[in-house]
Amino acid sequence: MSTVLEQIEQQIAKLSSKAVRKNTGVIRTVADGVAKIDGLSDVMYNEMVSFPGGAIGIALNLEQDEVGCVVLGDVSRLKEGDEVQTTGKLLSVPVGKGLLGRVVDALGAPVDGKGPITSSESYPVEKIAPGIVVRKSVSQPLFTGIMAIDSMIPIGRGQRELIIGDRGTGKTTIAIDTIINQAKINKVGLASGDPKFRPVYSIYVAVGQKNSNIVRTIGALEVAGALEYTVIVAAPAADNPANQYLAPYSGAAIGEWFMENGMDALIVYDDLSKHAVAYRQISLILKRPSGREAYPGDVFYLHSRLLERSARLDGKGSLTALPIIETLAGDVSAYIPTNVISITDGQIFLETDLFNQGIRPAVSVGLSVSRVGSSAQIKATKQVGGKLKGELAQFRELAAFAQFGSDLDAKTKSQLDRGSRIVELFKQPAFNPIPIEQQVVTLWAMQKGFYDSLELKQVTAASVSLREFFATRKDAVLAEIRNKAALDKDLEDKIKVGVEEWKASFSA
């Protein structure tokens, strides 16, 4: 009898009750890419949670008795009652130069079939934007290669400039041109061996676009040799809204790595209208109350916390942002456009009318502005293009007025004549950025009236021919403009000689 008791006592003594703490929950409902989970008491906001089968989710709604998660990856295999675990990690993406030349999804995973990404570091997707103290004001130019923009609406490194316009008005083209121009400048600058040269790396974030459009964009970058300096983050329309919501933040994290490591980067968000729509979709499924135009109340915060991450940091690098917004019938006063206009440092407004008249890029002079960029503009451009914006704005006014009258005085006539020549000069085909030194020469010739004797429809072709002439015969002058970035008497004389030589050969 006693032995049995002893045996039992021994068994009890051996028993150890060690509790393992693991935060697990159970899926209560799953639908439309959102899972409601019971029992995840310790989860953090924006924490990754793991589902069976490898799918991950992000905890977005922390409520009293349940947690709302958006699911990234395959939702179809998840079902009610599945177990969910917290990971203790905030969502992060791989960063570094290994991403250049690659196409990745919203989580930084490669989607271009070129094998794994080489990256040893990762950055959190959401990060608090740099504070005021560590920032520096914008003072270095970022050339878009588009003459109308670089001369009238200049952009500086660390600036946020909105590209806004209706559907199909050339918004993406402006952004791609800018990326291509950076690649061209990088090639020249890196080859020159100048230790002070600072290349610009680009990140193109495609949100909610058709796959065919994204493929076309990648193709354009590849043809121009710009892909090797560019990272593409793709969350196409077919992707679930959670990925579309995340992609801009992932892109920002990739850009921040360059900035934090003393380099300059440019990020394009194409486009934030679709981003807001994806966010609305998620929010409505998460049953967040909707506000104006059915967007959730925090949609302003959605974009401001993204765009505030662009900056120029003291002693480090910069991140310049070109967000894109699509308007409906030119309505810039709609909810999302006004939000983003108020967050950015200016906007490039593209007009459907101009686009249809063949004035491309269809930049509206009156409605476009760059609030900080002029401090970054080089002196040479100011010297040759300082008055252009005023002249062009005046021209538009006069042109509208002159439609009614027949008798125009000589001064008005000459203003109209000049304005229409400037319009012609600024016409520029897609994917054809013009180096800044060539822009200076083109505008110098305008300022000195070298196109005045030409027929209006010859002006665009003449400016192309002038640039070709300088590129082939006056390389030294171009290099001097590039290096000095300002025109002195001596340099202007050299430009004059070149332009006169060209003029003689052009009209001959």
Ligand X SMILES: Nc1ncnc2c1ncn2[C@@H]1O[C@H](COP(=O)(O)OP(=O)(O)OP(=O)(O)O)[C@@H](O)[C@H]1O
167 binds ligand X (CB under 6 A): yes
170 binds ligand X (CB under 6 A): yes
Q: Given candidates 430, 454, 471, 491, which one binds ligand X under the rule CB under 6 A?
A: 430
> Quick one: 125 or 462, whose CB is closer to ligand X?
462
Q: Which residues, 458 to 477, sit near Mg ion by CB under 5 A?
A: none
How many of the other CB atoms lie within 10 Å of CB of 150? Answer: 28
Query: Which single residue is written with the structure tokens 């063949």?
Result: 358
Q: How far apart are CA 18 and CA 249, in angstroms?
A: 41
Residues 6+ apart with CB under 8 A from 476: none
Distance of closest approach, residue 205 Cβ to Mg ion, in angstroms: 12
DSSP assignment of 160-195: B-EEEESTTSSHHHHHHHHHHHHHHHHHHHHHHT-T
With CB cut-offs between 5 and 8 Å by kind, which of ligand X, Mg ion, none does residue 360 bind? ligand X
390 binds ligand X (CB under 6 A): no
> Quick one: 352 or 394, whose CB is closer to Mg ion?
352
Instruction: Take residue 419 and report the two structure tokens written for it.
Output: 């304005």
How many chain residues touch ligand X (CB under 6 A)? 14
> Quick one: 171 or 312, whose CB is closer to ligand X?
171
Residues 6+ apart with CB under 8 A from 483: none
With CB cut-offs between 5 and 8 Å by kind, which of Mg ion, ligand X, none does residue 169 bind? ligand X
Select from 16-24, 148-156, 168-176, 442-450 the region that touches Mg ion (CB under 5 A): 168-176
Catalytic residue flag (residue 371): yes
Distance of closest approach, residue 175 Cβ to Mg ion, in angstroms: 8
> Quick one: 342 or 356, whose CB is closer to ligand X?
356
Select from 162-170, 178-186, 313-321, 491-499 the region that touches ligand X (CB under 6 A): 162-170
The contact pattern for Mg ion, residues 127-166, with x = CB under 5 A and - = no contact, is ----------------------------------------
Distance of closest approach, residue 338 Cβ to ligand X, in angstroms: 19
Select from 68-76, 137-145, 163-171, 296-304 the region that touches ligand X (CB under 6 A): 163-171
With CB cut-offs between 5 and 8 Å by kind, which of Mg ion, ligand X, none does residue 241 bind? none
Distances in whole angstroms, Cα of residue 334 to Cα of each of 279, 341, 348: 17, 11, 16
172 binds ligand X (CB under 6 A): yes
Distance of closest approach, residue 254 Cβ to ligand X, in angstroms: 22
Residues 6+ apart with CB under 8 A from 261: 316, 317
Closest CA to 388 of 304, 347, 447: 447
Distance of closest approach, residue 183 Cβ to ligand X, in angstroms: 18
Q: Where are the beta strands (DSSP E) in 341-485?
A: 346-350, 369-370
361 binds ligand X (CB under 6 A): yes
Distance of closest approach, residue 299 Cβ to ligand X, in angstroms: 20
Q: How far apart are CA 117 and CA 103, in angstroms?
A: 10
DSSP state of 232: E
Paired with 234 in beta bridges are 206
> Quick one: 303 or 360, whose CB is closer to ligand X?
360
With CB cut-offs between 5 and 8 Å by kind, which of Mg ion, ligand X, none does residue 430 bind? ligand X
Torsion angle of alpha carbons 47, 48, 51, 55, nearest 10°?
150
- Tell me how long the chain is: 508
Q: Given candidates 61, 172, 240, 243, which one binds Mg ion under the rule CB under 5 A?
A: 172
Q: Given candidates 102, 312, 360, 474, which one binds ligand X under the rule CB under 6 A?
A: 360
Distances in whole angstroms, Cα of residue 25 to Cα of each of 22, 54, 77: 10, 16, 17
Distance of closest approach, residue 425 Cβ to ligand X, in angstroms: 13
Q: How far apart are CA 322 and CA 37, in angstroms?
A: 38
The vertex-131 CA angle with 125 and 133, nearest 5°, equals 145
Give me the long-range contacts of 461-466 (CB less than 8 A, separation at least 24): 462/506, 463/425, 465/502, 465/506, 466/441, 466/442, 466/499, 466/502, 466/506
The residue nearest Mg ion at its CB is 172
> Quick one: 359 or 485, whose CB is closer to ligand X?
359
Distance of closest approach, residue 168 Cβ to ligand X, in angstroms: 4
Contact 364, 396 (CB under 8 A): no
Q: Given candidates 168, 219, 291, 449, which one binds ligand X under the rule CB under 6 A?
A: 168
> Quick one: 368 or 415, whose CB is closer to ligand X?
368
428 binds ligand X (CB under 6 A): yes
With CB cut-offs between 5 and 8 Å by kind, which of ligand X, Mg ion, none does residue 429 bind? ligand X
Q: How far apart are CA 402 and CA 503, in angstroms?
A: 31
Largest alpha-carbon pair distance within the chain?
Answer: 128
116: Cα separation from own chain's centroid: 25
Instruction: Take residue 16 and report the two structure tokens written for it.
Output: 């150890």
> Quick one: 237 or 430, whose CB is closer to ligand X?
430
Contact 437, 478 (CB under 8 A): yes
368 binds ligand X (CB under 6 A): no
**Alpha helices in 169-271, H assignment, sequence order:** 171-192, 211-223, 241-260
> Quick one: 375 or 432, whose CB is closer to ligand X?
432
Distance of closest approach, residue 161 Cβ to Mg ion, in angstroms: 16
Choose, from 28, 198, 371, 396, the residue flagged as catalytic.
Answer: 371
Name the residues that contact ligand X, by CB under 6 A.
Answer: 165, 167-173, 326, 360-361, 428-430
- Catalytic residue numbers, as ranges: 371
Name the residues that contact Mg ion, by CB under 5 A.
Answer: 172
